[in-house]
């Protein structure tokens, strides 16, 4: 227990080191009158009138948002990549899509995402099969309700299993296999933000994830850049496949992903400065 608290403290310290001073700088800019127009959420936090936040609360809010952003995204990619590397047909299909839509003379951009259905399906499939944090945040029902024939009285604590939904064999064919085809529907655009409750990427309703659009865009961009930009190989001391064991605490990958990346685009496209 003491050990894990130590790890968490260290991680929070590291995250804060990169962002707290930026919050201090911004607060000073408002105080000095250098900044007068609200451009982002940090400006909004600083200028709240009715629910005024002190500096510690502002920094904690920012930390929450930063953690939500890098944690969900990096965990997803750490699952999508090994699943794709282990299934070369899937990886080749994703590369083929990127080469067709974007080519090899420029880096993939956000404006390309609407045409990258297969890449989005890979991201979605990694979320379906590997929801890091197996349960949704707890919610309390505000009224009596019926769900699938079950009576749920007002005031119940409801904890939805993202893991159970994603691996439900009554909904998904071959539920335990990583297959982006699960999300491809002829020419219909694949979106990560739908909420038909077959998967529960961002939850739903008023307390659903407010960072849905940002989160799905960053995740898809990251996978697209990694697949477009590099050829991926296992280190020579590894077996044939990347090990897909889950950490039983939170379903993250038990061992960090370790693979070799080799550039596959013209070298001037890589910012090495």
| Residue nearest ligand HEM, CB atom distance | 211
Query: Cβ neighbours of residue 52 under 8 Å, at least 6 residues apart?
Result: none
Nearer to ligand HEM, 179 or 219 (CB): 219
* Min CB(157)–ligand HEM separation in Å: 12
* 263: β partners: 230
Question: How far is Cα 247 from Cα 67, in angstroms, rounded to an integer?
Answer: 19
Burial grade of 65 (CB within 10 A; 0-12, 13-18, 19 or more): middle
* Min CB(212)–ligand HEM separation in Å: 7
* Min CB(193)–ligand HEM separation in Å: 10
Nearer to ligand HEM, 124 or 182 (CB): 124
Nearer to ligand HEM, 141 or 203 (CB): 203
Nearer to ligand HEM, 3 or 18 (CB): 18
* Min CB(161)–ligand HEM separation in Å: 12
* Ramachandran region, residue 228 (left: φ > 0; alpha: ψ -120 to 50; beta: rest): alpha
Nearer to ligand HEM, 128 or 182 (CB): 128
Residues near ligand HEM (CB under 6 A) are 65, 68-69, 72-73, 136-137, 201-203, 207-211, 214-216, 219
Query: Cβ neighbours of residue 83 under 8 Å, at least 6 residues apart?
Result: 90, 122, 125, 126, 129, 178, 244
* Min CB(67)–ligand HEM separation in Å: 9
* Min CB(70)–ligand HEM separation in Å: 9
Cβ 133 vs Cβ 250: under 8 Å: yes
Q: For 133-147, b where at least 16 C-beta lie within 10 A, e where not — what string?
A: ebebeeeeeeeeeee
Nearer to ligand HEM, 117 or 219 (CB): 219
Cβ 81 vs Cβ 259: under 8 Å: yes
């Amino acid at each position: 227990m003491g050990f894990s608290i130590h790890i968490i403290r260290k991680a929070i310290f590291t995250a804060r080191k990169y962002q707290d001073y930026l919050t201090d700088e911004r607060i000073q800019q408002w105080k000095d009158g250098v900044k007068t127009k609200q451009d982002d959420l940090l400006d909004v936090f600083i200028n709240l009138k009715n629910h005024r936040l002190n500096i510690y609360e502002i920094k904690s809010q920012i930390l929450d948002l930063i953690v939500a952003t890098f944690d969900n995204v990096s965990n997803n990619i750490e699952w999508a990549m090994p699943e794709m590397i282990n299934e070369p047909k899937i990886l080749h299909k994703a590369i083929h899509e990127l080469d067709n839509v974007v080519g090899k003379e420029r880096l993939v951009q956000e404006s390309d995402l609407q045409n990258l259905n297969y890449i989005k399906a890979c991201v979605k499939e990694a979320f379906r099969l590997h929801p890091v944090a197996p349960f949704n945040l707890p919610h309390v029902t505000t009224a009596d309700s019926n769900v699938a024939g079950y009576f749920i009285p007002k005031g119940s604590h409801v904890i939805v299993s993202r893991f159970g939904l994603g691996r439900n064999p009554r909904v998904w064919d071959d539920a335990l296999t990583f297959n982006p085809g699960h999300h491809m529907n002829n020419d219909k655009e694949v979106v990560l933000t739908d909420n038909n409750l077959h998967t529960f990427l961002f939850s739903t309703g008023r307390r659903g994830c407010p960072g849905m659009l940002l989160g799905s865009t960053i995740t898809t961009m990251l996978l697209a850049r990694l697949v477009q930009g590099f050829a991926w190989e296992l280190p020579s001391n590894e077996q044939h496949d990347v090990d897909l064991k889950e950490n039983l605490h939170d379903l993250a990958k038990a061992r960090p992903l370790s693979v070799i990346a080799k550039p596959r685009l013209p070298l001037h496209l890589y910012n090495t400065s």
